[in-house]
Structure 1
């Protein structure tokens, strides 16, 4: 039977022709960007002090949800981002989304908790390069230098917002709404002009946390 949830979504940045603009970065390129498309995004809601909820989720993910604010946790199921005291975002392989959704829905069905598939609403970009921090400073007011590796934070940039994930010293991943993808890309590309933006493919991307989740289709 046809399941529309299994259809791979097209890139929300398709109008910008990013695949045709992929190139190998040179020393002149001070900012490098890669689109990490077609990942799975599951929103988890529950109380961190609810032992039954925490144990149920840990049984599916293999590890307990992080309770320390701004934590980024890598599990066998995917990457968990702490969003608020009662909300987490699980970023996973697209092919694993359905089984994770089913497993979490089943184990949480009798609990005061919720899991929602938001894979059709979010997308991500990896931003790196020697001057990626200078670019981020110009995008918004957040003190990006204070964000340690392994931490994430939600912030604003002009008229849009995103979650910035500090995956290593070399770069960050921005997770944002697909509905704001056009605006976000135009803002990023315009701001990055002085840094000679270079677009690379996910296969070229060296992000240690998110790149392993990307699948070639």
Structure 2
């Protein structure tokens, strides 16, 4: 069996904000009736987090849960734990209309660190990053690619996109974070 590697193997760019590939991150798509008690219990068991409301990201001891659409969550867990999380959630939701899929190796994750992290994302996305606060999640576009982002804290934005466009996303973020390109928003 081959060893798992992240899309860009730790790519790093330092500009007025730092852009770094986050490495291997466990990500699980969970689809179903988000008002279901069984799904809420499965999310809590998987991440330790409460069910997120619309446009929200909740954090628990074992991971995060993000609202992606009216019937879809993104669970973020340790990469090595993702297969077992899928197995446990599938068992607990066997009687529930749901879909649980490990999408870890189909995604790339980037962190934009610095006081102007919102500005870097705003250069590439139509999302209103000025209103973004930690605990909020936005599914949007970054230039020509679908992506989602959230704030870990006031100086760290996390962007998730498809692995197949990881280099493109990294190059966009690095260019937007290039020194001398500050907008001062």
TM-score, length basis structure 2: 0.86
**Within the alignment, does 1:39 sit opposite 2:25 as a pair?**
yes
Structure 1 contact 131–195 (Cα < 8 Å) conserved: no
In 1, Cα distance between equivalents of 2:122 and 2:86 = 36
Q: Which runs of no fewer than 5 residues in structure 1 stay unpaired?
A: 197-217
Match of 2:5 among 6, 10, 16: 10
Per the TM alignment, residue 152 of structure 1 is displaced from its structure 2 partner at its CA by 0.8
Match of 2:127 among 137, 142, 147: 142
Structure 2 contact 18–177 (Cα < 8 Å) conserved: no
Q: Give the structure with higher Rg (CA).
A: 1
Matching residue of 1:104: 89
Matching residue of 2:145: 160
* Change beyond 3 A, Cα 1:112–1:13: same
In 2, Cα distance between equivalents of 1:78 and 1:140 = 26
Q: Which runs of no fewer than 5 residues in structure 2 stay unpaired?
A: none
In 2, Cα distance between equivalents of 1:134 and 1:83 = 22
Tell me the SS of whatever aligns to 1:38.
coil
In 2, Cα distance between equivalents of 1:164 and 1:63 = 18
Tell me the SS of whatever aligns to 1:194.
coil
Matching residue of 2:40: 54
How many residues get paired? 181
Per the TM alignment, residue 195 of structure 1 is displaced from its structure 2 partner at its CA by 4.8
* Change beyond 3 A, Cα 1:62–1:190: closer
The alignment's C-alpha RMSD in Å is 2.2
**Within the alignment, does 1:175 sit opposite 2:160 as a pair?**
yes
Per the TM alignment, residue 162 of structure 1 is displaced from its structure 2 partner at its CA by 1.2
* Change beyond 3 A, Cα 1:89–1:8: farther
* Change beyond 3 A, Cα 1:35–1:48: same
In 2, Cα distance between equivalents of 1:57 and 1:191 = 35
Tell me the SS of whatever aligns to 1:184.
helix
* Change beyond 3 A, Cα 1:141–1:59: closer
Q: Which structure dedicates a bigger proportion of its chain to strand?
A: 2
